[in-house]
Amino acid sequence: MGTATETDRSGGSNRLDRRLLLERLSSYWLVGAGLFAVALFGLIVLTLVQQSIPIVSEYSLFQMMTSSNWDPAADEFGFLPAIVGTIYVTVLSMAMGTPLAILAAIYIAEYAEGRTKVLVSSFIDVLAAIPSVIFGLVGLIVVVPFVGDYLAPAVGAHSIGLGIVTVSLVMAIIVTPFMISLSVESLEALPDELRESSLGVGATKWETIRTVLLRAAGPGIFSAILLGFGRVFGATIVPAMLIGGQTAIPESPFDAGETLPTLIVNDFGELMSIPLTQSALILVGLMLLVIVWIFNFGAMLVRRRLQRRWQY
Amino acid sequence: MDRYTEQRLFGFLARASAALILGVLVMVVGVTLWRGGRVFVTDPAVMVTAPGSRYMLDGGGGFLHAVLGSIFIVVPATVVASILAISTAMFLQSDYSSERTSDVINMFLNVLWGTPPIVYGVFVLTIIIAVGAQTSLIFGTIAIAIFQYPIMTRYADEALRAAPDAVKEASYGLGATRFETARMTVRAALPGVIAGIIMGFARGIGDAATVLFTAGRSTQMPGGPFDPATTLPILIFEQAASFNAEVRSHAYAASFVLIVAVLALILASKLLAGRFARFAPGGRHS
């Protein structure tokens, strides 16, 4: 018994040393891991900035953004068609996706109950996890013929099926699960007293939702929409598969076109022999990063500001 | 329109929107399974056959190269990313960093989380060019790991935040060090952490934009970590619009494999999260 305590004690001090050493080593590692996030971001920004210097020093940024002539072989770098295409796709997808997402979020948060609710929200999670290439493939099989044969003739436009509308239809579905889950989260965080007092003074369920709940959950929903904008903006695979790749400014939404990410996909790799092209495409990547950053930052600011203004 | 009609109208619209989204989900999964399933029925060996020498032209052989490429790229990437993500999430707990530091790092993580995958692809390709290497399996792994890292960190951080404070207090009360306490917290939050890792894996295996330029779009079996490789999403992306019906059908079969893998992973994450709930205080089996 006595010897056992002896060995325990000596072993214990040894073990304490080991534990403290592990503590010290692990704290270095964890601080490193925490800083890794910042370092990674810094490294990405620095690399992209440094690599896009050659093109910016050669041509003015304004000139590149407003020129519609993209012909790297002739040293012409105009981003305008891609910028117009990106704006088209983003605005159209969000115009279709946002109401859909908000209404579906209202359904899940306010109407659905019990098992239906669990089932519907886990289906939404599944939708969020489906890879975008699969959406692209199904788009090719289903949406392209639909747009080319029915939708475009119905509104009197001509379309080969591939084009901005096709991409927007698919992207509108892809962004919804993401916006739904954020909106549902902020709707469900609201206290039940809000619902009870609104219903108690005689408002209908819809009036409660429209005038009280959407307002109180507004900051969260707003930032979900802004984050959704960022998502559509940076979407790559679906536009690359469905937009049809055309380096001219699209005349109608049914035209083929290009977006900033598809510009990168189509030209990277093939044109690496021309160093300026590489630099121009990296500049496009940097632009994507900065704009998405603005959307994210805007979402954060909006949430903070509106939270103060729309207090309940 | 009186208020009751309005109420009924919007109640209907809300239900219709949810139904529409679910309908689209069913259609996407259904079309993928149907089209891919038909290919498997006529040619069951397509998944385990190596591609022929003129694969992109005549679709000879199968797409085993993409299946193996996906596994060899995404599994190591998930291991690396989950270790980093759990460490970062541990650091973000108050024991190692102040509230302010956590906020700043969280802001950067949010930005990384929202960054389009194509930017990671461009970033890694720039590094490949800078070091004079060629696009290969190892760089695909790096790109996917960078892509998964913010996703997993967010899940892990949320799970650790939701772990009861009592675990931490009890652990410190018994004289445990910070690292031992952090390990206990991770254990208590294990269901969420595991779910996060699996979701990260699912996102990684389905993403094409990050690996499109970095893994090398090879049409041969992957030789080693420094040889070009390809993944299932790249294969689908490249072959979905091919003029050769045989090549196109391989894209359908590949999307069948991919969607089954993703659905199985989601199911596994739900089941495993339930299983590991016994480690969590107040969990089902505690």
Q: Looking at chain B, how many residues does it have?
A: 286
Query: What's the pLDDT score for residue A285?
Result: 87
Among the partner residues B11, B180, B205, nearest to A111 by beta-carbon distance:
B11
In this complex, do B108 and A38 lie within 8 Å of one another by their Cβ atoms? yes
In this complex, do A206 and B11 lie within 8 Å of one another by their Cβ atoms? yes
Residues 247-266 of A with CB under 8 A from B: 261, 264-265
State the smallest CA–CA distance between residue A249 and chain B in angstroms: 23
Residue B133, both tokens: 């290497």
Write down the pTM of the prediction: 0.88
Band the pLDDT of A272: cuts 50, 70, 90: low
In this complex, do B115 and A292 lie within 8 Å of one another by their Cβ atoms? yes
- Count how many Cα atoms sit within 13 Å of the Cα of residue B191 in the half-sphere of its side chain: 17
Which residue in chain B has the smallest CA separation from A296?
B111
Band the pLDDT of B147: cuts 50, 70, 90: very high
Which one-letter DSSP state was computed for residue B177?
-
Q: Confirm or reject contact between A272 and chain B (CB < 8 A).
A: yes
Band the pLDDT of A7: cuts 50, 70, 90: very low
Residue of A134, A198, A283 best to disrupt the B interface, most CBs of B under 10 A: A134
Q: What is the mean pLDDT of chain A?
A: 83
Of B15, B265, B239, B59, the closest CA to residue A130 belongs to: B265
In this complex, do B114 and A207 lie within 8 Å of one another by their Cβ atoms? no
Residue B18 scores a pLDDT above 60: yes
Band the pLDDT of B276: cuts 50, 70, 90: low
- DSSP-based three-state secondary structure for B221: coil
Query: What's the pLDDT score for residue B148?
Result: 92
Domain coordinates of chain A in residue numbers?
2-58, 80-309
Query: What's the pLDDT score for residue A270?
Result: 63
Among the partner residues A47, A108, A127, nearest to B123 by beta-carbon distance:
A47
Q: Confirm or reject contact between A197 and chain B (CB < 8 A).
A: no
Q: Confirm or reject contact between A151 and chain B (CB < 8 A).
A: no
d(CA A96, CA A98): 6
Provide the percentage of residues in chain B whose pLDDT is more than 90: 21
Pick the CATH number of A80-309 from 1.10.1240.10, 1.10.760.10, 1.10.3720.10, 2.40.70.10: 1.10.3720.10
Residue type at position A53 = I
Query: What's the pLDDT score for residue A217?
Result: 85
Of A181, A157, A164, the closest CA to residue A238 belongs to: A164
Within 8 A of A288 by CB-CB distance, chain B residues are 116, 118-119
Within 8 A of B97 by CB-CB distance, chain A residues are 31, 34
Within 8 A of B126 by CB-CB distance, chain A residues are 47-48, 51, 282
Among the partner residues B13, B123, B266, nearest to A44 by beta-carbon distance:
B123
Residue-wise pLDDT tens digits, A58-76? 777 777 777 777 777 667 7
Average pLDDT over residues A250-256: 78
Residues 165-184 of A with CB under 8 A from B: 173, 176-177, 180
Residue B263 scores a pLDDT above 60: yes
Within 8 A of A278 by CB-CB distance, chain B residues are 129
State the smallest CA–CA distance between residue B174 and chain A in angstroms: 14
Considering only A62-66, A170-174, B61-65, B211-215, which range has the smallest mean pLDDT? Answer: A62-66
Residue-wise pLDDT tens digits, A46-58? 998 988 888 877 7
Of B235, B259, B187, the closest CA to residue B68 belongs to: B235
Residue-wise pLDDT tens digits, A13-28? 788 888 888 888 888 8
Band the pLDDT of B259: cuts 50, 70, 90: very high
- CA dihedral in degrees (B124, B221, B258, B148; nearest 10)? -20
Among the partner residues A19, A123, A237, nearest to B25 by beta-carbon distance:
A123
Residue B157 scores a pLDDT above 60: yes
- CA dihedral in degrees (B84, B90, B94, B100; nearest 10)? 10
Domain coordinates of chain B in residue numbers?
44-279
Residue A142 scores a pLDDT above 50: yes
Residue type at position B227 = D
Query: What's the pLDDT score for residue B42?
Result: 84
Which one-letter DSSP state was computed for residue A130?
S
Residue-wise pLDDT tens digits, B171-202? 889 988 888 888 888 888 888 888 889 889 98
Residue-wise pLDDT tens digits, A196-240? 888 899 888 888 888 888 888 888 888 889 888 888 888 888 888
Among the partner residues B110, B146, B212, nearest to A40 by beta-carbon distance:
B146
Considering only A37-51, B45-59, B81-95, B144-158, which range has the smallest mean pLDDT? Answer: B45-59
Residue B128 scores a pLDDT above 50: yes
Residue A284 scores a pLDDT above 90: no
Residue A6 scores a pLDDT above 50: no
Q: Confirm or reject contact between A36 and chain B (CB < 8 A).
A: yes
Which residue in chain B has the smallest CA separation from A25?
B179
Average pLDDT over residues B13-21: 91
In this complex, do A292 and B114 lie within 8 Å of one another by their Cβ atoms? yes
Average pLDDT over residues B207-213: 87
Q: What are the helix (H) ranges across chain A?
A: 2-58, 61-66, 80-106, 114-129, 132-138, 144-146, 152-154, 164-188, 192-200, 205-207, 214-216, 218-234, 237-242, 260-267, 275-309
Average pLDDT over residues B99-111: 86
Looking at the domain covering B44-279, what would its CATH class be? mainly alpha
